[in-house]
Structure 1
Amino acid sequence: MEKQELITMLNRDLTDEHAAILRYLVHSYLEGEDTPLGASLLSRAREEMWHMHWLGMIVGRHGGEPNLAPAPYPYDPTNRATIFKSYVDYELKLVPHYHGEADKVDDPHIKRVLHREAWESEYHARKFQRILDKMTPQQAEGLPDEENELPEEFVERLQGLVASKYTEMLQHIRSSWVFQQESIVGWQLMDFAMTKMKQLAHLAEEVAENGITPRFEAGKIDLSASVGVALKKGLEDVRGAREEHIKFQGESETQKHVGLLLSLDLALKQEEYEAAEIEDWSKKS
């Protein structure tokens, strides 16, 4: 298989895995991470993150530009039974798909990755089917039913921060994949991307706990071909995020949410640390 054909194929898979991550994350947040259903969905989302990461690493290693736009995730939202049946169907379709792709490539590492994604997708399908089989009629026929108790303006404020943090996280992930062979900075940025995933979760959970779907909508991703330019962009982003979080922390409605304030306090310390680290890396690059 030619290199560009391989990159195109894996990028298509990457968008599918990205879609699965968002679907299972959102559903987990809506159910509540501390519920059995929410915890199980969160576990599947984390496993899909590895799938996306393996594909993105291969694309970046071969000089490709990772496609960070998630594909659509088809599912029937009628009730929990139809939703989980959609999840089973989605994962089962990936099994022959990934095995078939593995048979088309010669590189032994890529072949192993694709076969692994196939049998882990089968595992996901079986886990979802077990959940479906164990549901009570009330669970199967129902949906997460939290009611929104937040002011509309505050929800929009949170949604804007969700979208901004999601974009910042994707930017770091992209840089880590693209620059993985040029500098240790690529791996260090992946560490920060993981921190941003947790910061994003704290914001998204606040939205979802009120029965609203978090707005995972990415802004423009910088496609720099230089580590130095990417670091400059990363520094601007983290400083901008910190300034916005300081402002948000001091707003009157935010002050009513103790758990959110705790998360923001931690995020501000993390962002201060990240900015100092990136500034140091920029001087050395």
Structure 2
Amino acid sequence: MEKTEVIKLLNRDLEDEHAAIIQYLAHAYAMGEGEVACEIEAISRDEMRHLDWLAETIVGLGGTPGLERGKELPGGKTVPDWMKNDVLLEEGAAKQYRQHIALIDDAKIKRLLERILSDEIAHRLKFEHFIEKAKKEGLVDVRGERRDETARALNWGIEHEYTVVLQYLWHGYLSRNAAMKEQMEDQAINEMQHLGWLAEELASGGGKPVLEHTGVERPLKKRDMLEADIKIEKTVAAEYDRAARKTADPDIKRLLRRIRDNELYHVEVFQDLVKKLGSS
């Protein structure tokens, strides 16, 4: 099989991993605190690892990882319904990985896909268990219809964090610079933490986290990538500061200021990388 065709297959797998991450996180956040929610978040981290492996492999083949999100299985009125949809998503993923393993000749890539497949099979079994556990424990959707200014600010933050997670990962993959890639991955992990903090705060406070992102900056030169990242961090740090000053809730105020300070730290990290590029 030609490299271009292998890249297409791997990008299809990557898109579906992206969809699984978002579907599982949405379910975990909607369930609030608890053992099942924590286990689902752990599964989503497995899917993030898969996405990373696939993206690295695509770049190694000379391709560009896609940022599109595959098809989710939304719907379901109860937590057990959600778990049934998660089972179906894992079954579809396993079927596709088996097909791609059969089609791809490269032994190393086949081995990687077989490794991922083993996780998907384990995930399906876990979600089957969660169906019964959700029924037994009476797990419910903890979200509400809160739509006030604080809820809008939190959802704005979720949208931003989702966007920059994708942006920093993409910049890291395409930079082909070890130091920059390491920092991009570190900051993407931190932004993912922010997304979780905001989503959990919103859901526990009666709101509905919206897991959507805006446009991702995709320059091809390393300096341009970093300049775009510095610009967005400065902008959002100011927005978090504004939102913190407006809210009367002391816990949310502390959360927003903590994230603001993290974003300002990212600015300094990216500025250091720009300086290193200039001296190299």
Q: TM-score, normalised by structure 1?
A: 0.90
**Selected match of 1:220 from 184, 205, 215:** 215
Aligned match of 1:186: 181
Residues 198 and 281 of structure 1: CA distance in aligned 2, closer, same or farther (over 3 Å): same
Aligned match of 1:8: 8
Asked if 1 retains the 8 angstrom alpha-carbon contact of 2:142 and 2:203, the reply is: no
Worse-superposed segment, 65-74 or 8-17: 65-74
**Selected match of 1:236 from 221, 231, 237:** 231
Tell me how large the CA RMSD over aligned residues is: 1.9
CA shift, 1:87, in A, is 1.2
Aligned match of 1:165: 161
Aligned residue identity for 1:206? E
Aligned match of 1:176: 172
Distance in 1, matches of 2:143 and 2:212, equals 23
CA shift, 1:138, in A, is 7.0
SS of residue paired to 1:219: coil
SS of residue paired to 1:188: helix
Residues 76 and 219 of structure 1: CA distance in aligned 2, closer, same or farther (over 3 Å): closer
CA shift, 1:76, in A, is 4.2
CA shift, 1:136, in A, is 3.5
Residues 211 and 30 of structure 1: CA distance in aligned 2, closer, same or farther (over 3 Å): farther
Aligned match of 1:37: 36
Query: Structure 2 regions of 5+ residues with no counterpart?
Result: none
Aligned match of 1:96: 95
Asked if 1 retains the 8 angstrom alpha-carbon contact of 2:160 and 2:213, the reply is: yes
Residues 204 and 138 of structure 1: CA distance in aligned 2, closer, same or farther (over 3 Å): closer
Matched, 1:268 2:255: no
**Equivalence map 1:1-285=2 (5 Å):** 1-32=1-32, 34-136=33-135, 139=138, 143-148=140-145, 150-179=146-175, 181-251=176-246, 254-258=247-251, 260-285=252-277
Residues 77-96 of structure 1, C-alpha deviations (whole Å, 9 max, x = no match): 13222221221122122223
Distance in 1, matches of 2:250 and 2:43, equals 29
Asked if 2 retains the 8 angstrom alpha-carbon contact of 1:91 and 1:124, the reply is: yes
Asked if 1 retains the 8 angstrom alpha-carbon contact of 2:30 and 2:203, the reply is: yes
Asked if 2 retains the 8 angstrom alpha-carbon contact of 1:26 and 1:208, the reply is: no
> What is the number of equivalent residue pairs in this alignment?
277
CA shift, 1:107, in A, is 2.9
Worse-superposed segment, 153-162 or 237-246: 153-162
SS of residue paired to 2:248: helix
Residues 135 and 272 of structure 1: CA distance in aligned 2, closer, same or farther (over 3 Å): closer
CA shift, 1:174, in A, is 0.7
Distance in 1, matches of 2:165 and 2:135, equals 38
Residues 208 and 145 of structure 1: CA distance in aligned 2, closer, same or farther (over 3 Å): closer
Aligned residue identity for 1:273? Y
Residues 209-243 of structure 1, C-alpha deviations (whole Å, 9 max, x = no match): 24543222221112211111111111111111111
Asked if 1 retains the 8 angstrom alpha-carbon contact of 2:27 and 2:82, the reply is: no
Distance in 1, matches of 2:161 and 2:121, equals 32
Q: TM-score, normalised by structure 2?
A: 0.91
Distance in 2, matches of 1:2 and 1:195, equals 37
Distance in 1, matches of 2:63 and 2:4, equals 8
Identity %: 27
CA shift, 1:144, in A, is 1.0
Asked if 2 retains the 8 angstrom alpha-carbon contact of 1:75 and 1:87, the reply is: no
Distance in 2, matches of 1:145 and 1:265, equals 26
CA shift, 1:104, in A, is 2.3
Aligned residue identity for 1:15? E
